[in-house]
Structure 1
Amino acid sequence: MTDPLPENQFSPGDTSTALRVVGLMSGTSHDAVDAAACELRLAGDTLLLTPLGHLSVPYPPALRSGLVAALPPARTTLESVCRLDTEIGQAFADVAARAVAELCAGRADLVVSHGQTVFHWASDGGDVLGTLQIGEAAWIAEVTGLPVVSGLRTRDVAAGGQGAPLVGLFDALWLAGRPGSPVALNLGGIANVTVPAPTPPVVEPAPPVVEPVETRTFDTGPACALLDAATRHVTNGRLAFDVDGALAARGQVLPDLLARLLDEPYYARPAPKSTGKELFHLDYLLARLGPTPPTPEDLLATLVTLTARTVADAVRHTATEVVASGGGTRNPVLMAALRAELPGVTVRTSDELGVPSQAKEALAFAVLGWHTWYGLPGVLPGATGARRPSVLGSMTPGADGRFPPGRAVGVGQPGRLEICRPA
């Protein structure tokens, strides 16, 4: 439990001072801006996170339509990119202002904006050459008056990493100390997992020195990306997603179609790896349906199994527990399929461990912003394939010109993350 933070008072070396942070996120489903507010305080090597609430604001219909029209495999113009960069930045700014007012009682210290991913540039061999998130942070700083950390993925890419997923640090700190081999799973447009490094047992006498096993974080493949695209297609846009998995629940898995989908080379690539809607989109799916189109129900049932199977294949030999978050957790058919693919493995949602599943990624980016504030790396060694862990993001100053204090005496890399109850 944390004490209230005195307004606009900071002492970089005082690790007992809480930093009140708003994390902003819009994922590969690109349907809304999610905001999560929290207070973060370092106590010893434990980062204490007190959630202050979260909200989700849908994109205005015209903005979302313009965004969808510009995304791969469509072609676009620099004018469209500029307009989207501005309008998405303004949408993020409005949500940030709401979060400060409604979740933080009008008082916050930092905003961390993931922005909206519009392209993730990967080579045929899987190396990431660039990544583009838009939603200009200056609009957020101008509206809120707060400093803003943004562009967090690019620095990791510049260091040779995948730039995605970036939730690995949060997951590893959060799951540290849990029994067995817990794995964090996010079911957004794309599914990603964090497989934390195992805690070595205490052995007397000490065993020979061996190469440490690093935390791995990577995209397993599509989660809601193909499910949502297929739902919109088979309902002629009447449904944006398969509500409660109702269509999939009435269908049968088509073995031949599933085999064609599982033949995608991405699944066989070793981690770390990342992907996005540049690969998994409607045209990709339609090209694999074969000469006889399946019924809508059978198509959705098969895609549910595709997601569950590819996630399970990635973790079945390591996980004793899977902690899931993201929009896909609201699909009971998908969650049931995942449990069926992982017999003997406990599959639960992050809500059970104190992290709202719909707010987890926004909270994770708030934690990454805290690390940037104190000049600490936001990725774990080896997790993304980068040559070295980097301090992530670019900084847009607030109204008073304040930048983060940078590396401060007494502030070191946390070893674990503890979720606290709000006062």
Structure 2
Amino acid sequence: MQVIGLMSGTSIDGIDAALVTIQGKNLDLNVHLHGFSTYSYPRQLRQQLLDVCAGSPLSMAAFAQLDDAIAHAFADAAQQLQAEYGGSADLIGSHGQTVFHRPPSGSHLGYSLQLGRGDLIAHLTHLPTVSNFRVHDIAYGGQGAPLVSRVDLSLLGHPEKSRCIQNIGGISNVTFLPPLGQIDDHGSGVIGWDTGPGNVLIDLAVNHFSQGEKTYDRDGEWAATGEICQPLVEKWLNHPFFQEPPPKSTGRELFSPDFLRACLGDAQAYDLSAADCLATLTDFTARAIARNYQQFLDVPPDQVLLCGGGAHNTYLRQRLIHHLAPIPVLTTTEMGVPVDAKEAIAFAVLAYWHHHHCPGNLPSVTGAKAAIPLGQAWG
């Protein structure tokens, strides 16, 4: 079956689209990537999304218009991808664009909202579309995140080595995979959670210091010219989120423009330059990941495999290597799953599993009461 996976993460930097052929059942899958592209949001639409994620109010009419606009952008990406790579898909799996995420608390279910209507994507592309992947996990008491851990197990599990699959998007999340021989059919032993900020604070700071001329720190070049302020890193790591045990999830609601403003306010006492602030925020991101491993893993992994946009940030990767030493830090590309395409591939797989009535979540990761198929089908 040929499936298109569509994904836009918390960095809101565009729509990742992957065209794959998937064969097999349950965890025993063969996935072949035919083509991958990232399609930028129109500038005005991206800014509107950033504003909404930062708390800007919308009327219901404007909300509906935004939902439709994102669906059109996702449908266009699916059609362009097929035209570019000559494919003819049977199914679309669309994550949509997260604009709000609230983890569960006590007896209260969580809430997660992804815009980009699956019914409209199905209507525009004339292809069956699976969307709204998070809601069923949340309905079963789960976090609704991270959702790709079962895909990580299927595609990146190793017979003998334990691995941390570390995604660094706007928000960072990890899946810990024991050796395959130690994992049963229900994924027992696999754990995962959101580790905290990925690129989000760095990107916001770059935009701030460049007065809107830049949206990210390419290869970490700007941060690499600065000096890290370790007292600030230690202070920021005292935030309660980092002390919470898994399962846990977060988003731009916490690691927000307000969070960055507080960080920059803290930095004033140390007379830091823009480069110093970026170096400190980058090290904070790396330290947060390493601290999560130290606090919540019984044993360190044999390997760490990076994916997501942050895997391209050379300085961030250097800081991770430093803080995780002597654990080897590699990329999923080196294991056959391209760094940039991995999340889009994952939602193609989740749609495939939904089509075959196969569970998509791992309760040991999300905290849900059961393993269930994820998503709603349209068309």
In the superposition, the TM-score normalised over structure 2's length comes to 0.93
One-letter amino acid of the counterpart of residue 301, structure 2: A
Question: 8 Å contact 1:72–1:119 — kept in the other structure?
Answer: no
Matched residues in 2 for 1:191 and 1:297: separation? 22
Aligned equivalent of 1:223: 198
Asked whether the equivalents of residues 10 and 171 of structure 2 are also in contact (C-alpha less than 8 Å), the reply is yes
Look up the equivalent residue of 1:247 and give its one-letter code: W
CA distance in 1, matches of 2:324, 2:164: 12
* Residues 22 and 29 in structure 2, CA contact (< 8 A), matched pair in contact too: yes
Q: CA deviation at 1:69?
A: 1.7
What per-residue deviation string (whole Å, max 9, x for no partner) do you get for residues 341-369 of structure 1? 11111111111111111100000111111
| Alignment of 1:246 onto 2:221 | yes
Cα displacement (A) at 1:142: 1.9
- How far did residue 174 of structure 1 move? 1.7
| Range moving further from structure 2, 63-72 or 308-317 | 308-317
Aligned equivalent of 2:89, options 105, 108, 113: 108
Shift in Å at residue 120 of structure 1? 0.2
Matched, 1:73 2:55: yes
| TM-fit CA distance, 1:237 | 0.7
Cα distance, 1:229–1:22 mapped onto 2, change above 3 Å: same
**Partner residue in 1 for 2:135:** 154
2-side partners of 1:352 and 1:120: how far apart?
Answer: 32
Report how many aligned residue pairs link the two structures: 369
* Cα distance, 1:45–1:271 mapped onto 2, change above 3 Å: closer
What per-residue deviation string (whole Å, max 9, x for no partner) do you get for residues 162-205 of structure 1?
Answer: 10111100111122234321110101000000012444579xxx
Structure 1 residue 45 displacement after superposition = 6.3
2:322 alignment counterpart: 340
TM-fit CA distance, 1:214: 2.4
Contact in 2 for aligned 1:39/1:52 (Cα 8 Å): yes
For residue 246 of structure 1, report the CA deviation from its aligned partner.
Answer: 1.4
**Length-normalised TM-score, structure 1:** 0.83
> 1:28 and 1:199, CA in 2 relative to 1: closer, same or farther beyond 3 A?
same
Q: Distance in 2 between matches of 1:90 and 1:154?
A: 22
Of the three residues 339, 342, 349, the one matched with 2:331 is 349
Q: Does 1:319 align with 2:301?
A: yes
C-alpha change, 1:95 and 1:213, in structure 2 (3 Å) is closer
- The question of 1:145 aligning with 2:126 is answered yes
Structure 1: stretches of 5+ with no match in the other structure:
1-18, 203-211, 398-423
Q: Quick one: distance in 1 between partners of 2:182 and 2:198?
A: 35
Separation (CA, whole Å) in 1 of partners of 2:157 and 2:13: 32
User: After superposition, where does 1:10-409 map in structure 2 within 5 Å?
Assistant: 19-42=1-24, 46-103=28-85, 105-122=86-103, 129-200=110-181, 213-288=188-263, 289-290=265-266, 291-292=268-269, 294-316=272-294, 317-397=299-379
| Deviation per residue, 1:31-83 (Å, 9 max, x gap) | 20110010011179621111111000000011111111211333333233212
Between the aligned partners of 2:132 and 2:233, the Cα distance in structure 1 is 37
Q: What is the CA–CA distance in structure 2 between the aligned matches of 1:49 and 1:22, rounded to whole Å?
A: 12
What is the distance in 2 between the residues matched to 1:123 and 1:173? 27
Query: CA 1:154–1:225 in 2, change beyond 3 Å: closer, same or farther?
Result: same
The AA in structure 2 aligned to 1:37 is L
Q: Deviations over 1:127-156 (max 9, x none)?
A: 752100000122321222110000001110
Mark the CA change 1:136 to 1:201 in structure 2 (over 3 Å): closer, same or farther.
Answer: closer
Query: RMSD between aligned alpha carbons?
Result: 2.0
| Distance in 2 of aligned mates of 1:66 and 1:126 | 33
Mapped to 2, the partners of 1:97 and 1:201 lie a distance apart of 42
CA distance in 2, matches of 1:213, 1:151: 25
Pair 32,127 (structure 1): closer, same or farther in 2 beyond 3 Å: farther
Contact 1:97–1:143 (8 Å) recurs in 2: no
In structure 2, the CA distance between the partners of 1:144 and 1:384, relative to structure 1 (3 Å rule), is: same
Q: What's the CA shift for 1:100?
A: 2.1
Q: In 2, are the aligned partners of 1:272 and 1:383 still within 8 Å (CA)?
A: yes
Distance in 2 between the 1:44 and 1:99 partners? 27
Say which one has the larger Rg: 1
